[in-house]
């Protein structure tokens, strides 16, 4: 009879051994010393040995392997009995002692039947049926123990052990059929025996679910909802494809001449329907709800849901803005396809800010309206279906007409942060019937607070950006006014000198040049207020030529500034800067020196190589000077000045821009003895950009350039 076993038995028991081994390793890692968990681990471990013994026996049948497989079979059955008895003990059924006594008696009988010498049973039909009868009685006892366990559980507690009872009962029923058939015909069916390993491996998922549902077993087991969902979807898809394949073969062989054509059409239609099922959000939602409802104690895996929710909010900006991300994160919790987000605007009304898979809506709600007052006071999630059926549940709430007429509107979720209603989300009807219970409401309330905090932060950021824009504009205006003041001072000086030198041709020429310069500068200032161009990159600037232009523009003042010539052999070269802006800030330094120096004094500009390889500019005057306290505490701060009518912005802008170029500016001054300003700028390297055009051709600096100061 050994030759009757097929390769199916080897593979079947081998796969069962592998499945039980994986489950045993998982239980070993999750076990925390509980009695029930230890009994389960022992039963699963002996099931691994039993499946291995049966696989070796099917691969190489012999009397020795048959007896070894029989002993392992008895030990496996005894271990599962022990596990069931451990579970029965808290129910008080073990006090009758009969389950323990009967189990021990049957296990000993099974062991005797397996170890009994074959020659003692030869020729005795009754003796041949003895082992089969004992194992048949063992299957009956297993069913009785499972039935006693299930009936002894309180109704509220059956949910946790229902999968275990179902799986063990199915396994014992298969054993009952297998040994009953063998007892009737005095021989075991080899085909049924070949698939026995696979049958017992199929109950492992049910045992694992019960182990996860019963923390009292002291097993730290977590069944991933995503794994269950995808495994179930894969199993359903596989079963569907098997049915389609079987139908296709049936049509092929029974359809005559049209058989093959009909088979191809049927297979194509089946694959098309499968694709629609896999790609359908409603189908996935129904399957997910079904699994969560029947396989898990809570509807949600809170760790997974919260990580997904936080990730959805933090990844806003990739494909969706923050408002759309909030809608999607909330809608995914209740299987909704989308909805709309209403946020408070500057006029005190809530208008639609974002939408996802829903039409745009021009409806708005006043902050003192009935809906907003209710959401802010109660922080309830309003179900429009429940509102229409049980309006009294919501007290005096009166929903606006635009909301009741909104197509597919289902839930209204308030978004409240720091005691203030930031906005609310209106979700569309779900893809599949979805029950709103306390668990869903608690999760939505927690999620909305998180979403509201993100939206409140977004609003604060937008307000800060707007305030910074105004601040930038104010700063730009202050610099423009400062430049206008200097230009007005130039015109005033020119008019003052015109009374004495109006007939002097040289003065007339200087006057025309000064008016042209002032006109060009004023046009540049107007362009700063009107245009918004990007900041141009720094370009090479000939510092000596620029200082010459500055001294030339101020030669009509008294004292007139003088520029010392560059000594022979010095390698003073260009610097990288914005030509117009650098000319303006250096002009501020020279003008400050002129303002602080009497007409009898002198202002000298000296350009030379710095010791560190930089370009060094010194502006020396013999004016009134400054105290060290003023230099240390007030000089470089904005709006600090000692000049009558001054604004205190020139030195501040100069310091900011020199540092921006990577240079330094230092002041050496003493009251009554004048001031020396030293500016060091990095020398331009030859491989850098091409020379900049003349200052008169360079574009005026922009408001963005001013802001960088």
Angle between helices 35-59 and 63-88 (to 10 degrees): 160
User: Residues of the chain with pLDDT > 70: what percent?
Assistant: 73
pLDDT above 50 for 1: no
pLDDT above 90 for 636: no
Report pLDDT digits (tens) over 177-193: 888 888 888 788 888 88
Strands 539-541 and 382-383, bridge-based pairing: unpaired
Q: How many CB atoms lie within 10 A of CB 565?
A: 10
pLDDT above 70 for 221: no
Using alpha carbons, list the distances in angstroms from residue 707 to 471, 577, 648: 10, 16, 16
In whole angstroms, give the CA distance from residue 441 to residue 676: 73
Report pLDDT digits (tens) over 482-525: 667 666 776 776 777 777 777 777 777 777 777 777 777 777 66
**CA 294 centroid distance within chain:** 29
Q: Find all residues with CB under 8 Å of 612, minimum gap 6, and list them.
A: 680
pLDDT above 50 for 66: yes
Kindly report the pTM of this predicted structure. 0.41
What pLDDT, on the 0 to 100 scale, is given for residue 582? 86
Give the pLDDT mean for 626-648. 69
In whole angstroms, give the CA distance from residue 525 to residue 516: 14
- As given in the structure block, the two tokens for residue 200 are 């017992």
In whole angstroms, give the CA distance from residue 407 to residue 425: 14
Which helix (DSSP H) or strand (DSSP E) does residue 417 occupy? Answer: strand 409-417
Q: How many CB atoms lie within 10 A of CB 429?
A: 18
- Set out the domains of the chain in order of their start, with CATH numbers: 2-223 (1.20.1070), 230-295 (no CATH), 312-464 (3.30.450.40), 534-708 (3.30.565.10)
Least confident of 164-173, 283-292, 361-370, 605-614: 283-292
- Is-contact 701 524, C-beta < 8 A? yes
What pLDDT, on the 0 to 100 scale, is given for residue 224? 57
Give the pLDDT mean for 441-446. 84
pLDDT band at 230 (very low <50, low <70, confident <90, very high): low
pLDDT above 50 for 546: yes
Least confident of 31-45, 260-274, 334-348, 379-393: 260-274
- As given in the structure block, the two tokens for residue 411 are 């839930």
Report pLDDT digits (tens) over 463-483: 777 677 666 666 666 666 666
- As given in the structure block, the two tokens for residue 385 are 């279906």
Q: Angle at the Cα of 340 (from 337 to 341), degrees rounded to 5?
A: 130
């Amino acid at each position: 009879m050994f030759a009757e076993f097929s390769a199916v038995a080897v593979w079947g028991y081998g796969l069962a051994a592998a499945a039980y081994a994986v489950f045993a390793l998982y239980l070993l890692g999750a076990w925390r010393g509980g009695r029930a968990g230890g009994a389960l681990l022992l039963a699963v471990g002996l099931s691994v040995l039993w499946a291995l013994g049966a696989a070796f026996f099917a691969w190489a049948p012999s009397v020795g392997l048959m007896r070894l497989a029989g002993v392992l079979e008895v030990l496996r059955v005894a271990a599962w009995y022990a596990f069931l008895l451990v579970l029965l003990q808290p129910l008080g059924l073990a006090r009758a002692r009969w389950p323990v006594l009967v189990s021990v008696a049957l296990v000993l009988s099974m062991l005797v039947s397996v170890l009994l010498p074959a020659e003692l049973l030869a020729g005795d039909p009754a003796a041949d049926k003895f082992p089969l009868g004992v194992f048949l009685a063992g299957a009956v006892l297993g069913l009785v123990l499972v039935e006693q366990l299930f009936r002894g559980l309180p109704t509220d507690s059956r949910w946790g052990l229902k999968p275990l009872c179902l799986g063990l009962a199915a396994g014992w029923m298969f054993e009952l059929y297998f040994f009953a058939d063998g007892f009737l015909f005095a021989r075991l069916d080899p085909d049924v025996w070949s698939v026995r390993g696979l049958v017992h491996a199929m109950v492992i998922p049910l045992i694992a679910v019960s182990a996860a549902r019963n923390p009292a077993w002291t097993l730290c087991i977590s069944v991933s909802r995503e794994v269950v969902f995808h495994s179930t979807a894969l199993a359903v898809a596989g079963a569907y494809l098997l049915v389609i394949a079987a139908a296709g073969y049936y049509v092929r062989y029974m359809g005559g001449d049209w058989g093959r054509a009909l088979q191809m059409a049927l297979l194509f239609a089946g694959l098309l329907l499968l694709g629609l099922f896999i790609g359908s959000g409603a189908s996935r939602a129904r399957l997910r709800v079904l699994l969560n409802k029947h396989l898990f104690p809570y509807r949600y895996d809170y760790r997974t849901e919260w990580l997904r929710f936080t990730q959805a909010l933090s990844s806003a900006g990739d494909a969706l803005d923050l408002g759309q991300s909030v809608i999607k994160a909330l809608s995914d919790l209740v299987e909704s396809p989308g909805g709309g987000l209403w946020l408070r605007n500057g006029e005190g009304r809530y208008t639609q800010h974002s939408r996802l898979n829903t039409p745009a809506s021009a409806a708005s709600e006043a902050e003192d309206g009935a809906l907003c007052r209710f959401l802010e006071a109660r922080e309830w999630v309003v179900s429009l279906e429940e509102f229409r059926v049980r309006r009294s549940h919501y007290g005096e709430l009166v929903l606006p007409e635009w909301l009741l007429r909104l197509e597919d509107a289902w839930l209204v979720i308030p978004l409240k942060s720091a005691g203030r209603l930031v906005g609310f989300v209106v979700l569309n009807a779900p893809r599949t019937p979805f029950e709103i219970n306390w668990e869903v409401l608690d999760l939505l309330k927690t999620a909305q607070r998180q979403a509201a905090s993100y939206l409140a932060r977004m609003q604060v950021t937008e307000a800060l950006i707007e305030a910074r824009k105004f601040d930038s504009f104010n700063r730009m205006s202050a610099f423009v006014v400062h430049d206008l003041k200097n230009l007005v001072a130039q015109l005033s000086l020119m008019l003052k000198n015109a009374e004495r030198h109006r007939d002097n041709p040289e003065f007339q020429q200087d006057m025309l040049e000064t008016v042209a310069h002032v006109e060009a500068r004023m046009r540049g200032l107007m362009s700063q207020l009107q245009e918004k161009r990007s900041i141009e990159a720094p370009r090479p600037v000939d510092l000596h030529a620029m200082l010459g232009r500055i001294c030339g523009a101020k030669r009509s003042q008294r004292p007139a500034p003088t520029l010392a010539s560059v000594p022979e052999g010095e390698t003073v070269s260009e610097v990288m800067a914005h030509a117009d802006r650098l000319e303006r800030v250096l002009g501020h330094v020279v003008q400050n020196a002129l303002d602080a120096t009497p007409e009898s004094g002198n202002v000298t500009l000296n350009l030379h190589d710095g010791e560190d390889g930089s370009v060094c500019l010194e502006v020396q005057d013999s004016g009134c000077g400054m105290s060290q306290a003023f230099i240390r505490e007030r000089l470089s701060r904005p709006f600090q000045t000692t000049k009558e009518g001054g604004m205190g912005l020139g030195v501040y802008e100069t310091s900011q821009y020199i540092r921006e170029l990577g240079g330094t500016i230092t002041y050496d001054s003493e009251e009554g003895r004048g001031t020396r300003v030293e500016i060091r700028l990095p020398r331009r390297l030859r491989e850098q950009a091409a020379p900049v055009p003349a200052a008169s051709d360079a574009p005026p600096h922009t408001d963005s350039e001013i802001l960088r100061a």
